Amino acid sequence: METPYLPPRSTQPECSSADADAALRAERQPRTEGAGGSAEGTPRTIIWGESADSPTPQPCGESYRLVVGSDGRSHAIATPLPKPDGIPSAALTDYLNLTFPFPQGRAGIPAFLAELHGHLGLYLGGLTDRRRGLHGWLESFAFDRGGALFAVGGQRGTALLSLPGDACKLIPDWLIATEWFRNALKAKITRWDGAVDDFEGTHPVDWAADQYTHHKGFNAGGNRPKCNQAGNWIEPDGSGRTFYVGKRKNGKLMRIYEKGKQLGDENSPWVRWELELHGTDRVIPFEVLLEPGKYVAGAYPCTGWIQEEQCRVRTIQKTAEVSYEHLTHCARQGYGQHFAVMLAVEGSADKVMAKVMRDGIPKRLRLPIPPEAREDGRAHPDTP
């Protein structure tokens, strides 16, 4: 078993909830000139666990700072920390939400779409009005492919671009995309998911649960986040189990689940680790798009094993393989006997197929093809 990544040791006290409480109480006391800032000037930022001798906080998955607002109240802002020696491509971006200034509203959509196509290509396609709002925005639109969404109207003159997993697979160049998001759109990441596929199941859900229970593998700053389970853990039945660490409402959630079994293969060892971050009281750096592996590996002490380069094409191929076998099994179980009767009646397999076949591809097999997987660079057969 590989040695899990542990943050560098520090001479300062470990970051803990007690440190945070003490810092909050200290910050709420009246301040005078020379005590780290003036009452009239910009409020002072306090780093959790800081001291006069060691101002740098101990890395523990995220760094924290206490920001004092104009009303005198303090709140913590977290920033994810990467694993310094992590492999940038050891994880894939599997969900991305961005918000950005968009005061022109609906009238600015044609220009925005042209700009998007110029930077991200034509892979997402055009927009269709959904005729309803989304997450507080008054109007929303669906892209042709990937399940991507765009929303405008209200929300202080901003817009939302939402790219779920299938849409993220269609981004041809994350460096170009990141520069456009950050520099042109002046966007803020409000949700980011990083995924790691452990096809051989070397770090299964049981290992994750053991790390949580006995090895402090998910502790951060001295605190252990809440955990939860889904599926049959008493008598595993092949339908798949999930182990959750953290809570979405707190802005950081890790999901470890039996992906192959979820797709229908009861014997598949395939496990997926997914880190989900939200931008509430958290600054998600754009580096997560360029070096996702470092941020998933650095999320917890026990995720340091994440070092193998990930490949979207392999993930899609594996998904198609498992889904095909599952659908074939369902067809055999549900209609195999009837197919045998049809063969006896019709006299040939060709006649049977002519009676039962219809055009199209099952939804479970309609998977996006990344641009790098096609010689012509197209993400879908009907892509211009």
The predicted pLDDT at position 311 comes to: 65
Q: Answer whether residue 175 shows pLDDT above 70.
A: yes
> pLDDT tens-digit profile of 9-36?
333 333 444 444 444 444 444 433 333 3
Of 82-96, 103-117, 263-277, 302-316, the one with minimum mean pLDDT is 302-316
Helix or strand (DSSP H, E) at 343: helix 312-346
pLDDT tens for residues 321-358? 756 676 676 777 788 888 888 888 888 888 888 888 88
Chain CA centroid to CA 110, Å: 29
Q: Judging by DSSP bridges, how do beta strands 74-80 and 149-152 pair with one another?
A: unpaired
Helical (H) or strand (E) element with 40:
none
- β-bridge partners, 79: 63
Range from 138-142, 230-234, 336-340, 370-374 carrying the lowest mean pLDDT: 370-374
Residue 170: CB atoms within 10 A of its CB come to: 25
More confident: 73 or 299: 299
Three-state SS for 11-28 is CCCCCCHHHHHHHHHHHH
Mean pLDDT, the chain, integer:
80
Q: Which residues contact 141 (CB under 8 A, 6 or more apart)?
A: 109, 127, 128, 129, 130, 149, 150, 151
- Do 15 and 222 touch, CB atoms closer than 8 A? yes
Q: From 323, 293, 246, 257, select the one nearest 89 (Cα to Cα).
A: 293
Which pLDDT does position 215 carry in this prediction?
92
The residue length of the chain stands at 384
pTM for the model stands at: 0.70
Residue 379 has pLDDT above 60, yes or no: no
Sign of CA pseudo-dihedral 336, 339, 341, 343 = negative
